[in-house]
C-alpha cells in the first residue's frame, strides 16, 4: 500500500482533474488491488454497475444478511451479531454510493 498522506494527495489530484470518487477508487484498485472498505467491494458490484444493478444487489444482500432472518433460521447468537455488523457495512456502502451517484428514490 502507500502512505496515508499519499492517499489524501492522490484523492485531491483526482478531484482536481474531475474524477468521480468511484472512478478514483477503480483506478486505485487497478494498481493496488481492491480496498476492503471500498463500498463497491463491500456490495460486490463493479464501478460501472448501473443504478438498478446496485439497488438489486443491495436488496439481495440485505435480505440474505438481515439479523431477523438469521434468528428465524435459528442460527447461533454469534452469527446474528456478525450479521448485524455485516448489515451495517452493507447499508453504509450503499449510502456512500447513493450519495456519490445521486440515486433517485
Tens of pLDDT along 41-87?
889 898 899 999 999 999 999 998 888 888 888 888 888 888 899 89
Question: Can you give the pTM of this predicted structure?
Answer: 0.72
C-alpha cell at 17: 482533474
Q: Are 86 and 70 members of one domain?
A: yes
* Number of domains within the chain: 2
Q: Are 14 and 44 members of one domain?
A: no
Q: Are 89 and 100 members of one domain?
A: yes
Structural domain for 3, as ranges: 1-35
- 65 vs 76: CA distance, rounded Å: 14
CATH for 102: 1.10.287.110
Q: Are 16 and 53 members of one domain?
A: no
If you average pLDDT over every residue of the chain, what do you get? 87
Amino acid at each position: 500500500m502507500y502512505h496515508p498522506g499519499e492517499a489524501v494527495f492522490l484523492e485531491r489530484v483526482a478531484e482536481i482533474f474531475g474524477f468521480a470518487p468511484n472512478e478514483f477508487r477503480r483506478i486505485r484498485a487497478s494498481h493496488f488491488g481492491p480496498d476492503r472498505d471500498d463500498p463497491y467491494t463491500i456490495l460486490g458490484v463493479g464501478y460501472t454497475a448501473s443504478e438498478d444493478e446496485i439497488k438489486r444487489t443491495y436488496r439481495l444482500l440485505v435480505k440474505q444478511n438481515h439479523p431477523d432472518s438469521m434468528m428465524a433460521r435459528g442460527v447461533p447468537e454469534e452469527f446474528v451479531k456478525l450479521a448485524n455488523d455485516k448489515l451495517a457495512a452493507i447499508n453504509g456502502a450503499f449510502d456512500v454510493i447513493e450519495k456519490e451517484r445521486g440515486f433517485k428514490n
